[in-house]
Structure 1
Amino acid sequence: MNWEPLLLTFKLALVVTLILLIIATPIAYWLSNSKSRLKPVVETLVSMPLVLPPTVLGFYFLMAFSPNNGVGSWLNSVLGIKLVFSFTGLVIASVIYSLPFMVHPIQSGLSSISRSITEASYVMGKSKWETLFKIQLPQIKPSILTGIVLSFAHTVGEFGVVLMIGGNIPGKTKVASIAIYDEVEALNYDAANFYSLVLFAITFCILLLVYLVNGNYFKSFFK
């Protein structure tokens, strides 16, 4: 059995999750504290992947990243970077597509922190960033863990976006969801079942671990 699509899938999910953790934290912080009139617009843009069909986003990514259009043309002519049908293009598209799954849990966690704790940190001379990283984020570890797991699992299950922007190149852009589709089309149900079972088992175990950790089941078990 060919493990390459599965390895590529988890590599993509890991890279995307790490990038999301870095960029989603400041976005979530701003959304949880801002009173700007632009906040509803930013929240809407962040949440768009939740309601838009993946093929719609994939189509616009394809148009934007194409060497003949927009950003893709500039990147190709100036920097020699081609994003269409490449792993890098998959990463960028997946980051945008999975953004709400990291932003929303962290935003919710930050919004739940008592203002008195934050204000006490400011009174003690801590800056906003020191307060965020030393006071606020340590208090919302379950929210961060939820964002990490949801982003990882969502990236693992992507189909429409990765098909549109990455195509079906073995060893380069052919992730597990594409491999399952190919095997079903070829009536090779054993291979499709293998890929599906591996994805099902791994995502189930990851989600179960999150519920166990967030529900403090381990602490009660070892008492």
Structure 2
Amino acid sequence: MNDDFLQTLLLTGKLATITTVILLIKGLPLGYWLAYKRFRFKPLIEALISMPLVLPPTVLGFYMLVAYSPQNTIGHFLEHTLNLRLAFSFEGILVASVLFSLPFMVQPLQNGFASIPQSYREASYTLGKSFFTTFTRVLIPNIKPSIITAVAMTFAHCIGEFGVVIMVGGNMPGETRVASIAIYDEVQSLNYDTANKYSFVLFIVSMVILTIIYSINGNKKTL
């Protein structure tokens, strides 16, 4: 294996790992909020979160690339105030990856929270436990299978991202060239052996992740 091959795989793993950690931290309170709160615009919020499931990745990538442009308000603020240019950078594809993978984290967590009987929360509050204690000691332990599923699905989705990444980050070795883009690039160059190596690694990782998910769900149903 050459250095470029390993570098690309490490970058892919780095992107997927950081994206998953960020979304887990954000997804737990968001999933709780969506599971238990009732308000007028909740369907709209849920629709916006679920948009990446039906929206072509290139559409989201295009709008994010436009937003990153220094000619627009967001891009101008980032570049001139924070000295940060997101277009064609790792930070840029990370932000895009977080937005595009959001439903893969939030939906399993929301369903997990919604499946917990209301009596669990009521009993905890009756015993004088705080919201934080109830959330961390009562609710989260009861949705461990949902958490594992959410983490696995998010990570698997991240390692296979193509449209959003290539629109926002291009194909810059060591910076934005992840495995899915490398496969396309190698096929275009007729380097099928290298493309096969990348594909095989992603295939094995995806298979392991799906096996874990189905094993957890299968064990949960037998309990």
Fold similarity call, TM over 0.5: yes
1:191 aligns with 2:194: yes
Q: 1:212 aligns with which of 212, 215, 220?
A: 215
Letter in 1 for 2:62: F
Which aligned pairs between 1:30-49 and structure 2 lie closer than 5 A?
Answer: 30-49=33-52
Distance 1:115 1:209 in 2: 29
Residues 105-149 of structure 1, C-alpha deviation per residue, up to 9 Å, x if partnerless?
A: 000010000011110011111222221111001001000000000
- What amino acid is the match of 2:150? G
Specify the alignment match of 1:51 in structure 2. 54
Distance 1:38 1:126 in 2: 30
Moved over 4 A (4+): none
Matches within 5 A, 1:62-73: 62-73=65-76
* Aligned residue among 7, 22, 39 for 1:19: 22
Matched, 1:107 2:137: no
Residue 216 of structure 1 deviates from its aligned partner by 2.8
CA root-mean-square deviation = 1.5
Q: CA deviation at 1:210?
A: 2.5
What does residue 119 of structure 1 align with?
122
Between stretches 99-108 and 197-206, larger displacement belongs to 197-206
- The secondary structure found in structure 2 opposite 1:126 is coil
Name which of 77, 90, 94 aligns with 2:80: 77
Q: Counterparts of 1:25 and 1:41 in 2: how far apart (Å)?
A: 19
Deviation digits for residues 9-30 of structure 1 (CA, Å, limit 9, x no counterpart): 0110000000000001111111
**Cα distance between partner residues in 1 of 2:208 and 2:180:** 18
Equivalent residue number for residue 155 of structure 2: 152
User: What is the SS of the residue equivalent to 1:168?
Assistant: coil
- Structure 2: which amino acid aligns with 1:21? L
Q: TM-score, normalised by structure 1?
A: 0.95
Q: 2:205 aligns with which of 198, 202, 218?
A: 202
Return the TM-score normalized by structure 2.
Answer: 0.95
Residue 96 of structure 2 corresponds to 93
Identical pairs, percent: 56
Structure 2: where are the runs of 5+ without partners? none
Match of 2:165 in 1: 162
Residue 10 (structure 1) aligns with: 13
Equivalent position SS for 1:197: helix
- Amino acid of the structure 2 residue aligned with 1:148: V
Q: CA deviation at 1:209?
A: 2.0
Whole-angstrom distance in 1 between the partners of 2:129 and 2:218 = 31
